[in-house]
A and B are shown apart, each in its own frame.
Chain A
Amino acid sequence: DGGITQSPKYLFRKEGQNVTLSCEQNLNHDAMYWYRQDPGQGLRLIYYSQIVNDFQKGDIAEGYSVSREKKESFPLTVTSAQKNPTAFYLCASSIDSAGPGELFFGEGSRLTVL
């Protein structure tokens, strides 16, 4: 079935360690997004990519990095520079970023920093 797969679902990390969250889609979508969600709050955009080999910072990009080497993959690295990384991370994709923009979301990755 087509969709978005995020892994791992749960991840624990020690302070000072980088961690990479995987996001893969088989929907043939051009645009991909990473959001962060903290308890009781809405989603905040970290990074987005409209096309392969191109990406832009969202509202809270500091301490994060991404790559878009393949259309179907958009991994997010949470670096040690991110001061409060414990959160729920959601990856999404859409056919393109210029049109109606129905976003399809993955099931999320929950990161806990110990």
Chain B
Amino acid sequence: DAKTTQPPSMDCAEGRAANLPCNHSTISGNEYVYWYRQIHSQGPQYIIHGLKNNETNEMASLIITEDRKSSTLILPHATLRDTAVYYCIVRRYGNKLVFGAGTILRVKS
């Protein structure tokens, strides 16, 4: 599976949109982009995944560029409870999920 690159940390003001970037320049055609998050000392939580179209659910939106080499996870109105480590993972169906170091998102009041 392709490797991903994320910034180590980001800050966001409460109530504003949090935009978390992820680079996956070596992604291949049958690999999906997944996002999970992990609040301190808890198990990771699935957020969203997509192949090439933009996706939205009750938690977030996933924007994938047309060439699929990068993506952005958008939390539309960040709250203090969104402070967590966010993992971007590229995976082909049937392969294991491989977690990198992720991005620490700090939402500040």
Contacts and interface: CB of A to CB of B under 8 A. Distances in A.
Nearest to B92: A101
Main secondary structure of the interface of B (DSSP, over half): loop
A42 B100 contact: yes
A102 B93 CA distance: 10
Contacts of B42: 105, 107-108
A60 interface: no
A61 interface: no
B59 interface: no
Given A42-B100, A42-B101, A103 B44 contact: yes
Nearest to A41: B101
B97 A103 contact: yes
A97 B101 contact: no
Contacts of B45: 105
A74 B42 CA distance: 19
A90 interface: yes
B98 A45 contact: yes
A48 B96 contact: yes
A102 B43 contact: no
A92 B93 contact: no
Given A41-B101, A43-B99, A45-B98, A100 B43 contact: no
A92 B96 CA distance: 12
Interface of A: 4, 33, 35, 40-45, 48, 58, 88, 90, 92, 97-108, 110
Interface of B: 32, 34, 36, 41-46, 49, 87, 91, 93-94, 96-102
15 contacts: A4-B43, A40-B101, A42-B99, A42-B101, A43-B99, A97-B94, A98-B94, A101-B91, A101-B93, A102-B46, A103-B44, A103-B46, A103-B97, A105-B44, A105-B45
